[in-house]
Structure 1
Amino acid sequence: MVKIIGLTGGIGSGKTTIAHHFHSLGVPIYIADDAAKEVMQEKSIIESLKNCFGDSIFEDGQLNRGALASIVFNDSEKLAKLNSIVHPVVRAHFDNWVQNHQSATYIIYEAAILFESGNYKKCDKVICVTAPLDVRIQRILRRDDTKLEAIQNRINSQWTDEQRINKSDYIIENIDLALAKLKVEEIHKILLIKQNG
């Protein structure tokens, strides 16, 4: 069985950038958020979302992710409900994807809420990407058309860096991208030795 390496970090930590650097080294990567966007187009999921959150989260038949986020990141019960709709489908999607990558030495499973969802239990090792909170907030403000309050709500709905670090095997501090990439290469070598040794 191919080894599954979880990669996580808070919003704005740069975990997707780090995941893509692993990909540049030949490692297959699975981005859980991208998969969630994909499965949320499925008819059964759309119906479940409408039943749970109403038609107002859809515009011209398309899911308005901002409208959905403003509902769920202010209400932990609604967030749990959304996760109960989407996560089982993403999990099945991932299991199928893993079957198609059995020849790899290891794969990266990138997910913001790896620990919160319990999916870390399926991982052989976990890498945590960190960055100072103010740096993360500035990145999100540059990247997304969103308000500071919405960012704070999202951050508050996730684990803290301290919580993630305590359960992770490897830590990548992502302040200086060149240094972070060197850390990726170092971890990659360690994982290749462990899997082939």
Structure 2
Amino acid sequence: MTYRLGLTGSIGMGKSTTAQMFRDLGHPVWDADEAVHRLYAEQGAAVAPVSAMFPTALAGGLIDRAALKQVLAQDPSALARLEGIVHPLVARDRQDFIDMHADAPLVVLDIPLLFESASPPELDGIAVVSTDKQTQRARVRARSGMTDDTFAMILARQMPDADKRARADWIIPTDTLEGAKNAVEAILGKVIPHA
């Protein structure tokens, strides 16, 4: 039986680095953001339905995320319509990944907005990556094109870190790589006793 571990955390908390730690240890990781990129790419399953609803988002045979953001900014009701198209496609992509790795002892599902989702997937456990606010802000501000306003807008859409930590089965502290690695190995020791 494959153990399905949800991996989540707010922006700048170190989720991508932590997900890579699981990969490096040989565990398959499904990434929700990568799934959306695939769906929006040329020949992606979301291109036809999204472009039919939002024609200005289509550019060169794929969904232009910047153009789509403009549409969403101009029409607040558009987000629900977009999610109605994309969420089922993402869920199918995730299930296909789980099915493909049915023999794996552990599958990690990297879902940034896991707790914010209206219909979260069925999971066996949830790990939240976390660090202090100063480290989080420094990491986010180091990203290309990131502004304080954009950071504040993203945080406003995410559940506060303290609430995520309270709902987690495990907390992975990402203040140091060593601490994160130790936490990942501790989780593996619990869910895969022979790991």
TM range (shorter): 0.7 to 0.9
Q: 1:98 to 1:151 in 2, by over 3 A?
A: same
Cα distance in 1 for residues equivalent to 2:164 and 2:76? 19
Residues 163-185 of structure 1: CA deviation (Å, up to 9, x unaligned)? 21222100112121221111111
Q: Which residue of 2 aligns with 1:6?
A: 6
Q: Does the 8 A contact of 2:13 with 2:129 survive in 1?
A: yes
Q: Does the 8 A contact of 1:70 with 1:150 survive in 2?
A: no
Report the secondary structure of 1:5's partner residue.
Answer: strand
Q: Which residue of 2 aligns with 1:26?
A: 26
Q: Map residues 1-197 of structure 1 onto 2, 5 A cutoff.
A: 1-41=1-41, 42=43, 45-55=46-56, 57-69=57-69, 72=72, 77-118=77-118, 120-193=120-193
Instruction: Answer with 89-98 or 157-166: which moved more.
Output: 157-166
Cα distance in 1 for residues equivalent to 2:138 and 2:157? 18
Identity of aligned residues (%): 27
Residues 86-122 of structure 1: CA deviation (Å, up to 9, x unaligned)? 1110110111111111111111000101122245441
Q: 1:11 to 1:34 in 2, by over 3 A?
A: same
Paired residue type of 1:172 = I
Report the secondary structure of 1:123's partner residue.
Answer: coil
Cα distance in 1 for residues equivalent to 2:67 and 2:81? 16
Paired residue type of 2:27 = V
Q: Structure 1-normalised TM-score? A: 0.85
Which structure has more helix as a fraction of its residues?
1
Instruction: Answer with 13-22 or 82-91: which moved more.
Output: 82-91
Paired residue type of 2:97 = W
Cα distance in 2 for residues equivalent to 1:39 and 1:61? 12
Q: 1:119 to 1:177 in 2, by over 3 A?
A: farther
Cα distance in 2 for residues equivalent to 1:140 and 1:10? 11
Instruction: Answer with 107-116 or 69-78: which moved more.
Output: 69-78
Cα distance in 1 for residues equivalent to 2:79 and 2:135? 26
Q: Structure 2-normalised TM-score? A: 0.86
Instruction: Answer with 19-28 or 45-54: which moved more.
Output: 45-54
Cα distance in 1 for residues equivalent to 2:98 and 2:66? 30
Instruction: Give the aligned CA root-mean-square deviation in angstroms.
Output: 2.4
Deviation at 1:17, TM superposition (A): 0.9
Report the secondary structure of 1:12's partner residue.
Answer: coil
Deviation at 1:44, TM superposition (A): 5.4
